[in-house]
C-alpha cells in the first residue's frame, strides 16, 4: 500500500476509534479494566459480572469474535462492559486523557513461535513502556500463556523494565478462556506498575 494511502487509512481508523471511545467511556469511571485480545469475551463478561464497580473494555482485531462477545453481554444485560474492534497499541495510544488503565489482562496472546516472528509478540519493552504511560499508579498487568518461550521472554522484559515489577500475588479471577480450555498447561504472571516514572 502506498505510504499516503496507509496514512489516510490510519487517520480514518484513529478518528473512528476516538468517536467510539467518546461514546463508550462517557460517564464511566476514570480507571478502566482492559482485556487485550479478548477473543469471544468469555473471560471479560464473567469478570464484569462479578466486578460491577469496574468498567471493562475488551478489544480484539477479529470482528466475528467480538460480535459473539457483544451478544453474550447483551444477553446477560451487563452495563459495565464494552468491546471494541481495535488494535492494542492504537487503543492505548488513543486512550482519552481523563482515563487510565488499572487492570490489564493479556490472556493467551498469539505466541508467534517462529524465532523471526518473535518481534510481533505483544509483550515487548516498547509496548510495556507505552502501557506504563497510560496506567494508574499501582496498576496490575495480568499475563497468562501456554507458550513456555513467550512466558520466559516476557518475564525477562518485566524484570528489565524500570516501570513494571513482577509481584507474587494470586491470580485475581479464574474463568477459563477458549484458549485456556485447549491448553495442556499454562503459566501466569502478575506485574505491578511502580509509582515512579
Residues marked as catalytic: 110
Residue 138 or residue 148: which is nearer to ligand SAM going by CB?
Answer: 148
Q: Does 109 bind ligand SAM (CB under 6 A)?
A: yes
Residue 59 or residue 131: which is nearer to ligand SAM going by CB?
Answer: 59
Query: Could you give the 3-state DSSP secondary structure of residue 87?
Result: coil
d(CA 159, CA 181): 29
Sheet holding 31-36, edge to edge: 81-85, 55-60, 31-36, 100-107, 135-145, 187-193, 164-167
d(CA 72, CA 82): 11
Work out how close the CB of 178 gets to ligand SAM at its nearest, in angstroms, rounded to a whole number. Answer: 4
Q: Which of 70, 87, 146, 153 binds ligand SAM (CB under 6 A)?
A: 87
Work out how close the CB of 61 gets to ligand SAM at its nearest, in angstroms, rounded to a whole number. Answer: 5
Q: Which of 17, 36, 45, 81 binds ligand SAM (CB under 6 A)?
A: 36
Q: Does 158 bind ligand SAM (CB under 6 A)?
A: no
- Orientation of helix 125-133 relative to helix 148-160, angle to 10°: 60
Q: Which of 11, 61, 76, 167 binds ligand SAM (CB under 6 A)?
A: 61
Number of Cβ within 10 Å of residue 62's Cβ equals 11
Number of Cβ within 10 Å of residue 66's Cβ equals 21
Q: Which of 60, 128, 140, 142 binds ligand SAM (CB under 6 A)?
A: 60
Footprint on this chain of ligand SAM (rule: CB under 6 A): 36-39, 59-62, 65, 87-88, 107-110, 122, 177-180
Amino acid at each position: 500500500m502506498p505510504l499516503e494511502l496507509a496514512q489516510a487509512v490510519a487517520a480514518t481508523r484513529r478518528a473512528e476509534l476516538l468517536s467510539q471511545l467518546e461514546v463508550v467511556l462517557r460517564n464511566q469511571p476514570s480507571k478502566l479494566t482492559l482485556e487485550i485480545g479478548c477473543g469471544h469475551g468469555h473471560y471479560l463478561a464473567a469478570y464484569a459480572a462479578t466486578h460491577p464497580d469496574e468498567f471493562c473494555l475488551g478489544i480484539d482485531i477479529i470482528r466475528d469474535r467480538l460480535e459473539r462477545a457483544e451478544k453474550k453481554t447483551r444477553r446477560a444485560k451487563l452495563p459495565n462492559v464494552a468491546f471494541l474492534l481495535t488494535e492494542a497499541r492504537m487503543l492505548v495510544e488513543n486512550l482519552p486523557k481523563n482515563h487510565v488503565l488499572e487492570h490489564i489482562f493479556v490472556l493467551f496472546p498469539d505466541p508467534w513461535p517462529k524465532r523471526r516472528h518473535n518481534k510481533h509478540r505483544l509483550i515487548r519493552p516498547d509496548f510495556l513502556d507505552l502501557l506504563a504511560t497510560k496506567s494508574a499508579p499501582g496498576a496490575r498487568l495480568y499475563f497468562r500463556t501456554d507458550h513456555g518461550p513467550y512466558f520466559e521472554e516476557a518475564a525477562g522484559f518485566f524484570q528489565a523494565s524500570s516501570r513494571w515489577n513482577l509481584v507474587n500475588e494470586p491470580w485475581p479471577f479464574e474463568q477459563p478462556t477458549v484458549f485456556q480450555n485447549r491448553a495442556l498447561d499454562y503459566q501466569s504472571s502478575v506485574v505491578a506498575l511502580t509509582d515512579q516514572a
